[in-house]
Amino acid sequence: MLNLQQARWHIAQRIGTIIRASKLFDTEPWGKEDQARFLNQALWVSTTFSPLKLLDMVQEIEISLGRKRLEKWGTRIIDIDIIFYSNKIIATDRLQVPHPLMQERNFVLQPVNEIATKWKHPILQKTVAQLALECKDERKVNFS
Residues 42 and 12 sit within 8 Å (Cβ to Cβ): no
Query: Would you give the distance in Å from CA 105 to the centre of its chain?
Result: 10
Q: At what angle do helices 2-14 and 51-64 cross, to 10 degrees?
A: 140
20 is annotated as an active-site residue: no
From 76, 93, 94, 139, the catalytic residue: 76
Instruction: Return the bridge partners of 43, or none.
Output: 21
81 is annotated as an active-site residue: yes
79 is annotated as an active-site residue: yes
From 20, 69, 81, 94, the catalytic residue: 81
How far is residue 113 from each of residues 21, 24, 52, 139, measured CA to CA in Å? 11, 13, 24, 16
14 is annotated as an active-site residue: no
From 14, 26, 56, 79, the catalytic residue: 79
Which regions of 23-135 does DSSP assign to beta strands (E)?
25-27, 38-40, 43-47, 90-91, 96-97
From 8, 67, 94, 105, the catalytic residue: 67
Q: What are phi and psi of 6, to 5 degrees?
A: -65, -40
Q: Which residues are catalytic?
A: 67, 76, 79, 81
